[in-house]
Amino acid sequence: MGVYSKPVVFAILSAVVILIGTVVTVFIPMLMPSTQPVSDYVKPYTVVELEGRDIYIREGCNNCHTQTVRPLRTEVLRYGEYSKPEEFAYDRPFLWGSRRTGPDLNRVGGKYPDSWHYKHMKSPQSMFDKSNMPPYGWMAENRLDTRYSKKKISILGYGYTEEEVERQIAGYKARVTSPSYDSKEARNEVTPEELRNELTEMDAVIAYLQKLGRDVKNMEAEE
Amino acid sequence: MKENSYDYQIVRGFTFSALFWLIIGLIVGLWIAFQMFNPALNLTPWLSFGRLRVVHTNGLGLGFGLAGIFACSYYMLQKLSRTPLVFPRLAKAHLYLFNVIIALAALSLFAGMNTSKEYAELEWPLDIAVVVMWVIFAINVFATLVKRQEKQMYVSLWYIIAMTVTIAVLYIVNNLEVPVNLFKSYSVYAGVNDANVQWWYGHNIVGFIFTVPILAMFYYFLPVSTGLPLFSHRLSIISFWSLIFAYLWTGAHHLMLTPLPEWIQTVGIAFSIFLIAPSWGSVINGYYTLRGNWEQMRSNYLVKFFILGITFYGLQTIQGPTQGLRTLTSFFHYTDWVIGHVHMGTMGWVTMTISAAFYYMIPKITGTGLYSIRIANVHFWLILVGQLVWTVTMWIGGIQQGAMWKATDPDGSLTYNFLDSIASLYPYYKIRFAAGIVYFAGIILFAWNLVMTIRKSQEVKNQPLNR
Ligand code: HEM
Ligand code: HEM
């Protein structure tokens, strides 16, 4: 009887059946600019923030942390302004997450000084003894690998020139290694002697965390 | 067609690969379950929770799940078409390639090479290997089907075809990425679109690994192990087409109340509710197949695995659509409730069905009978009790967590800070760990029973006089 005795026809028919929902809910929205709007307020990541984001991905922080504040009263109270689609225009991949073992991080930028993060990343339990977040002190013992930064920026199309990439890296390094850096003490505490004048993975992750939600906060401040 | 011209070597190979990855995946599962109430087990970077959780999900979804599916598919394919595999050497290559891929996958995830997209974490060189492996599998599926001796294709074969086609589409579309180097790539999609593609994939990869091929097994192994014909052929036709049609519209129920356009979310909810119908079509077909023969629940040790399995599937497919509704998702999303949902499906429905399928196939292949039915019964009760305690604990924990996130004082401020909510769950996490041990003990018996069945058949072979 019909398709039930024709495997190849059956396969083609199945493919058509599964593609209908796929086209309507995935492919068509992709062609609509309103799905992923852009805003002048939201800037691409700097090179160091991007490197930090890649470490966040490598360590699977997204397995415990979400990055979308939902438009619910208690959620806005807890984390801040709810997330807007514009904020994610430069996110490849997106990092919204599916599980909140730890708090949402989409508004964490500017919430704490860098020094707080150095201490917290080194040992969450030293700040909150009941936290189950893994300690990441070893990140401060790894020099930040920027060999691929230029290539990454060109793939992502952030539009920085090669000199700009180098300038950003040097600029951030100058900031965190400068004697006047406001979180110098905490940084020195977690960073081994020989890396204090270098950029570490921990520096980059913290740069990234401080970027999260910053553009939205700036926008609100201007309004 | 003669029994002994079938290629059973490949079925055996995938069966034991599945058992191996099951045990590894569960050890990692227990490890991360422990880390969740005691972070001291984050011993080294590669043993930190963020990396290990991915080893757990991939090890079980791809390692155990896919191997089980390949084992049963190769068996059903040959039996239902009454034709030996057309390319047995290719199938052998498939077996080796599969295990190499899973081993490299585990190593690379330990090392933090991870795209972060759930169930698609493998980096691009492994993605390519997975696609090659899938093509190798598909060649044998279609070649055998084209050469088959049986005119009609039975229901299970439809599900196998649908899986073969759909996983290829899902995997390729969601894994399109631009390499930076061998170990790192960026998704071609950005932001909201990346999220939408990912959860279209995420929902359906779960569906086409943990539902569609498991249904293929259910539709085949329940009738053959009970000797009862399937209740309704027409019902299975309706269930099949409506299931595979509706599944692909529902990914957005994973993205409720996020910046994803609202209409996609609404469509996702609507189709999720609709999915109850085809899902229960299969549940009812299973129950009615046993009508008048329910005493087999006691007399035939395999039947209870199938019936409990399909019951968990039934519960799962009511819980899923319900928790996707806007009001409920606002409460349960991101909590342990969903973790309970996941594990009722995987530890209940998926493992129960695969267990029974293996118990049926391996003695058929060796021709000597199962090593111990009593051990199989103990295995059943251990995984049942382990799973129930595990999931019920997580549902209670999820309700508590959702309530604590939402609680406000009379003045409108939040009652609990975040840490209170997570720390109050540690007792539940400890119970979950204990339940996991019980379940794991059941799985060890399962593996032992099958290993001994093979041993026994080899002894019998070595003693021809006693035969
Ligand atoms: C001893 C049994 C098991 C234990 C102790 C265990 C433990 C865990 C833990 C602790 C998590 C993370 C939960 C969280 O982040 O809050 C998890 C997630 C997960 N497990 Fe298991 N697991 C077990 C069995 C299984 C089995 C048999 C499968 C599949 C066949 C499985 C598939 C998954 C999946 C897919 C997730 C991800 C869920 C999500 O992202 O929402 N697990 N498991
Ligand atoms: C009609 C059928 C089903 C529907 C509509 C459904 C619905 C859902 C929904 C809405 C979620 C997301 C919850 C949240 O994050 O808030 C979810 C998660 C999940 N479901 Fe189901 N479910 C169904 C059946 C199944 C079955 C049979 C399994 C088999 C194991 C399963 C496995 C999972 C997994 C692994 C996740 C976690 C995904 C993640 O966040 O990583 N579901 N399901």
Q: How confident is the model at residue B4 (pLDDT cuts 50, 70, 90)?
A: low
Check if the beta carbon of residue B465 is closer than 8 Å to that of residue B384: no
pLDDT above 50 for B466: no
How far lies B61's CA from each of A27, A146, B47, B65, B127, in Å?
Answer: 26, 34, 20, 5, 15
Q: How far apart are CA B184 and CA B178, in angstroms?
A: 9
The verdict on A210 and A126 lying in the same domain is: yes
How many domains would you assign to chain A? 2
pLDDT above 50 for B467: no
* Count, residues in chain A: 223
Check if the beta carbon of residue A86 is closer than 8 Å to that of residue B77: no
Instruction: State if residue B325 touches ligand 2 by the CB under 6 angstroms criterion.
Output: no
Q: Do B50 and A83 touch (CB under 8 A)?
A: no
The verdict on A20 and A75 lying in the same domain is: no
Measured in Å, residue B437 CA sits from the centre of ligand 1 at 13
Instruction: State if residue B282 touches ligand 2 by the CB under 6 angstroms criterion.
Output: no
Q: Do B191 and A90 touch (CB under 8 A)?
A: yes
A10 touches chain B (CB under 8 A): yes
The average confidence (pLDDT) of chain A is: 96
Q: How far apart are CA A87 and CA A213, in angstroms?
A: 8
Q: Which residues of B touch A125 (CB under 8 A)?
A: 39
How far lies A164's CA from each of A96, A159, B77, B136, in Å?
Answer: 29, 9, 59, 47
The verdict on A96 and A11 lying in the same domain is: no
Q: Could you tell me the residue range of the domain that residue A15 belongs to?
A: 3-35
pLDDT above 70 for B359: yes
The verdict on A12 and A99 lying in the same domain is: no
Instruction: Give domain status of residue A82, yes or no.
Output: yes
Q: How confident is the model at residue A206 (pLDDT cuts 50, 70, 90)?
A: very high
Give the tens place of pLDDT for each residue, B293-317.
Answer: 999 999 999 999 999 999 999 999 9
If you take atom 36 of ligand 1, which residue's CA is the nearest one? B57
Q: Do B181 and A133 touch (CB under 8 A)?
A: no
Give the tens place of pLDDT for each residue, B376-409.
Answer: 999 999 999 999 999 999 999 999 999 999 999 9
Q: Which two tokens stand for residue B240?
A: 């099949």
What 3 state SS string does chain B have?
CCHHHCCCHHHHHHHHHHHHHHHHHHHHHHHHHHHCCCHHHCCCHHHCHHHHHHHHHHHHHHHHHHHHHHHHHHHHHHHHHCCCCCCHHHHHHHHHHHHHHHHHHHHHHHCCCCCCCCCCCCCHHHHHHHHHHHHHHHHHHHHHHHCCCCCCCCHHHHHHHHHHHHHHHHHHHHCCEEEEECCEEEECCCHHHHHHHHHHHHHHHHHHHHCHHHHHHHHHHHHHHHCCCCCCHHHHHHHHHHHHHHHCCCHHHHCCCCCCCHHHHHHHHHHHHHCHHHHHHHHHHHHHHCCCCCCHHHHCHHHHHHHHHHHHHHHHHHHHHHHHCHHHHHHHCCCHHHHHHHHHHHHHHHHHHHHHHHHHHHHHHHCCCCCCHHHHHHHHHHHHHHHHHHHHHHHHHHHHHHHHHHCECCCCCECCCHHHHHHCCHHHHHHHHHHHHHHHHHHHHHHHHHHHHHHHHHHHHHCHHHC
Q: How far apart are CA B177 and CA B88, in angstroms?
A: 33
DSSP structure string for chain A: -GGGG-HHHHHHHHHHHHHHHHIIIIIHHHH-GGGS---TTPPPPPHHHHHHHHHHHHTTGGGT------S-HHHHHHH-SPP-GGGGTT-SS----S--SS---TT-TTTS-HHHHHHHHH-HHHH-TT--PPP-GGGGGSB---TTHHHHHHHHT----HHHHHHHHHHHHHHHHSTT-TTHHHHHHHS-GGGTTS-BHHHHHHHHHHHTTHHHHHHHHH-
Measured in Å, residue B62 CA sits from the centre of ligand 1 at 13
Q: How confident is the model at residue B197 (pLDDT cuts 50, 70, 90)?
A: very high
Q: Which two tokens stand for residue A181?
A: 């850096």
| Residue among A59, A215, A210, A7 at smallest CA distance from B116 | A59
How far lies B58's CA from each of B205, B316, B323, B444, in Å?
Answer: 12, 21, 24, 20
Any idea which fold B3-457 has?
Cytochrome C Oxidase; Chain A (1.20.210)
Q: How far apart are CA A141 and CA A60, in angstroms?
A: 19
A91 touches chain B (CB under 8 A): yes
Angle between helical axes of B262-274 and B276-289 (0-180°, round to 10) = 20
The half-sphere exposure of A2 on its side-chain side, counting CA atoms within 13 A, is 4
Q: How confident is the model at residue B5 (pLDDT cuts 50, 70, 90)?
A: confident
Contacts with A166 (C-beta within 8 Å, 6 or more apart), sequence order: none
The half-sphere exposure of B186 on its side-chain side, counting CA atoms within 13 A, is 21
Check if the beta carbon of residue A153 is closer than 8 Å to that of residue A165: yes
Q: How far apart are CA A183 and CA A187, in angstroms?
A: 6
A13 touches chain B (CB under 8 A): no
Which residues 164-223 of A have a C-beta within 8 angstroms of B? none
- Kindly state the percentage of chain A with pLDDT values over 90: 93
Q: How far is CA B255 from the centre of its chain?
A: 21
Instruction: State if residue B31 touches ligand 1 by the CB under 6 angstroms criterion.
Output: no
Q: How far apart are CA B341 and CA B332, in angstroms?
A: 11
Q: How confident is the model at residue B459 (pLDDT cuts 50, 70, 90)?
A: confident
Instruction: State if residue B366 touches ligand 2 by the CB under 6 angstroms criterion.
Output: no
Q: Which residues of B touch A63 (CB under 8 A)?
A: 49-50, 53-54
The verdict on A15 and A105 lying in the same domain is: no
Q: How far apart are CA B329 and CA B252, in angstroms?
A: 12
- Kindly state the percentage of chain B with pLDDT values over 70: 98
Owner of token pair 């309103």: A34
Query: Maximum CA pair distance of chain A?
Result: 82
Q: Do A19 and B169 touch (CB under 8 A)?
A: yes
Q: How far apart are CA A154 and CA B37, in angstroms?
A: 42
Ligand 1: which of A62, A99, A100 to mutate, most ligand atoms within 8 Å of CB? A99
CA distance B282 to chain A (A): 18
Q: How far apart are CA B20 and CA B14, in angstroms?
A: 10
Instruction: Please work out, in degrees rounded to the nearest 5, the angle formed at the alpha carbon of residue B209 by the alpha carbons of B207 and B213.
Output: 100
Give me the CATH number covering residue A70.
1.10.760.10
Residue B136 corresponds to which amino acid? I
Q: How far apart are CA B336 and CA B339, in angstroms?
A: 5
Please report, for chain B, the start and end positions of each structural domain, with discontinuous segments joined by +.
3-457
| Count of C-beta atoms within a 10 Å radius of residue B12 | 20
A70 touches chain B (CB under 8 A): yes
Give the tens place of pLDDT for each residue, B340-355.
Answer: 999 999 999 999 999 9
The verdict on A195 and A114 lying in the same domain is: yes
Ligand 2: which of B58, B203, B214 to mutate, most ligand atoms within 8 Å of CB? B203
The average confidence (pLDDT) of chain B is: 96
CA distance B150 to chain A (A): 9
The minimum-distance atom of ligand 1 relative to the CA of B36 is 10
The verdict on A96 and A117 lying in the same domain is: yes
Ligand 1: which of B54, B342, B350, B382 to mutate, most ligand atoms within 8 Å of CB? B342
What is the ipTM, given to two decimal places? 0.96
The minimum-distance atom of ligand 2 relative to the CA of B332 is 16
Give the tens place of pLDDT for each residue, B361-379.
Answer: 999 999 999 999 999 999 9
Q: What average pLDDT score do residues A131-154 get?
A: 97
The half-sphere exposure of B103 on its side-chain side, counting CA atoms within 13 A, is 8
If you take atom 17 of ligand 2, which residue's CA is the nearest one? B320
A29 touches chain B (CB under 8 A): yes
The verdict on A199 and A95 lying in the same domain is: yes
Q: What average pLDDT score do residues A82-86 get?
A: 95
Instruction: Give domain status of residue A53, yes or no.
Output: yes
The minimum-distance atom of ligand 2 relative to the CA of B346 is 30
How far lies B103's CA from each of B45, B52, B62, B98, in Å?
Answer: 19, 14, 11, 9
> Looking at residue A20, what is its pLDDT?
98
A93 touches chain B (CB under 8 A): yes
> Looking at residue B465, what is its pLDDT?
56
Q: Which residues of B touch A156 (CB under 8 A)?
A: 186
The verdict on A17 and A55 lying in the same domain is: no
Give the tens place of pLDDT for each residue, B14-43.
Answer: 999 999 999 999 999 999 999 999 999 999
The verdict on A23 and A94 lying in the same domain is: no
Q: Which ligand is nearest to the CA of B429?
A: 1
The minimum-distance atom of ligand 1 relative to the CA of B432 is 5
Q: Do B50 and A134 touch (CB under 8 A)?
A: yes
Q: What average pLDDT score do residues A148-172 get?
A: 97
Among A7, A91, A131, whose Cβ lies nearest the Cβ of B194? A91
CA distance B176 to chain A (A): 11
pLDDT above 80 for A1: no
Contacts with A87 (C-beta within 8 Å, 6 or more apart), sequence order: A42, A106, A213, A215, A216, B191, B259
Give the tens place of pLDDT for each residue, B147-165.
Answer: 999 999 999 999 999 999 9
Instruction: Give domain status of residue A42, yes or no.
Output: no
Chain B residue closest to A133 (CA)? B39
Torsion, Cα of B443, B446, B450, B451 (10° steps): 50
Q: How far apart are CA B134 and CA B131, in angstroms?
A: 5
Q: Which ligand is nearest to the CA of B351?
A: 1
> Looking at residue B462, what is its pLDDT?
78
